[in-house]
Amino acid sequence: EPEVTQTPSHQVTQMGQEVILRCVPISNHLYFYWYRQILGQKVEFLVSFYNNEISEKSEIFDDQFSVERPDGSNFTLKIRSTKLEDSAMYFCASMKLRTGMVNEQFFGPGTRLTVL
């Protein structure tokens, strides 16, 4: 069964550095999402992406964040200048939109980002 994959599984970085988190969505999916979970807290929506542009973003997704689909398979989340409070688990999800049917997201295993 196809799965969403994410790399790396754990990323450690210094405050102020740029990081890029990578996701490979399920191949025929067209909607892509990033979520964040700070340790001990709930999973929060960051951004959704469709047709090569952001379709919705939360207030968490400020100018330090950007997303990109650089090729036909990857979907990336970039944090330009990391802060300590960016330390969290980041989940990618993808979905295949089917008109008139139930649409369900599939989540990746997550990338744990630690900012020192």
Partner 1 sequence: AQSVTQLDSQVPVFEEAPVELRCNYSSSVSVYLFWYVQYPNQGLQLLLKYLSGSTLVKGINGFEAEFNKSQTSFHLRKPSVHISDTAEYFCAVSDQGGGFKTIFGAGTRLFVKA
Which region, judged by CB under 8 A, interacts with partner 1, from 16-24, 33-41, 64-72, 80-88?
A: 33-41
Q: Could you tell me how many residues make up the chain?
A: 116
CB of 115 to partner 1, least distance (A): 17
Spatial CB neighbours of 15, under 8 Å, sequence gap ≥ 6: 82, 83, 84, 115, 116
- Per CB under 8 A, the list member of 107, 113, 114, 115 interacting with partner 1 is 107
Contacts with partner 1 by CB under 8 A: the residue count is 25
Q: Are strands 10-13 and 111-115 parallel, antiparallel or unpaired?
A: parallel
- Per CB under 8 A, the list member of 45, 60, 66, 76 interacting with partner 1 is 45
